[in-house]
Amino acid sequence: MTLLVFSSIFSLTTFASAKEEKTEPIKNKSVIYFKVPTTGKNAWGNGQILYCHIWEAGGGEFFNWQAKSEKCEKYKDDVWYYDLDKLKASNELEGGLKKGRTYAVIFSDNIGNQTYDLYFDSSCIGDIVVCNGETQSNPVSPGKYCAIAEWKDNSEFDSVVYEKTPPSDQKPAKVNVNDESSLSKEMGFAVIAIVASVVLLLALAFVITSAIKKRKIKEE
């Protein structure tokens, strides 16, 4: 019990210190920051290259996964940044990041670590992404896990399950990646309904069969 309490306090302390990470604007650059998780059971290890993969929600990606144009620069210690002006060189999505559009981002390194999908828009420029110590199963690579990440100053953009075609007139619906209870309940109710229907049909068939047999006996 004591060990469990200590572990919980350690995790909360680690996340709190990440949330308090301060960054100063980089002159003449529009950037987003990422704090690499270096403590706890889900620490990333010693990756030497960090990438920032961005795509438009429900649309195309700026560059291929871990392309040269997705490389981040080191800011200090375990904090890196990505220069969003690099996106303007994309042949897929021209013009770079646009106001009023919703995008998604994944940070990854060269040894297999990555964050889960995280939504954002132009209001997040200058903000830092931190991991909260939790993980979610990778939807693309079964058996692997992604770090759940959050924006320090834009908490309305949570880690979410990516929807391929979100409504064009509003931001994609947010689904808490840790909340699977609703889906489980719905599936449970569906199974119960099916079983009940089968039992009812079997009972009805039994009654009809019994009635037919009794009628034949009387006729004989």
How many CB atoms sit inside 10 A of residue 139's CB? 13
SS3 content of the chain, % helix, strand, coil (to 5): 30, 25, 45
The string of DSSP codes covering 35-71 is E---SSTT-------EEEEEEETTS-BSS-TT-GGGB
Span 80-91, pLDDT tens digits: 999 999 999 999
Q: pLDDT digit string (tens) for 15-28?
A: 444 445 556 666 66
Q: Are 146 and 138 in contact (CB under 8 A)?
A: yes
Residues sharing a CB contact under 8 Å with residue 73, sequence separation 6 or more, in sequence order: 80, 81, 82, 83
Q: Which pTM value belongs to this model?
A: 0.64
pLDDT of residue 95: 93
Side chain identity at residue 53, one-letter code: H
Three-class SS state of 88: helix
For 179, the token pair is 């909340």
Instruction: Write out pLDDT tens, residues 112-154.
Output: 999 999 999 999 999 999 999 999 998 888 889 999 999 999 8
CA distance 160 to 58: 13
Alpha helices, H only, the chain: 2-19, 181-219
CA dihedral 30, 108, 22, 78 (to 10 degrees): -130
With beta carbons less than 8 A apart as the criterion, state whether 192 and 185 touch: no
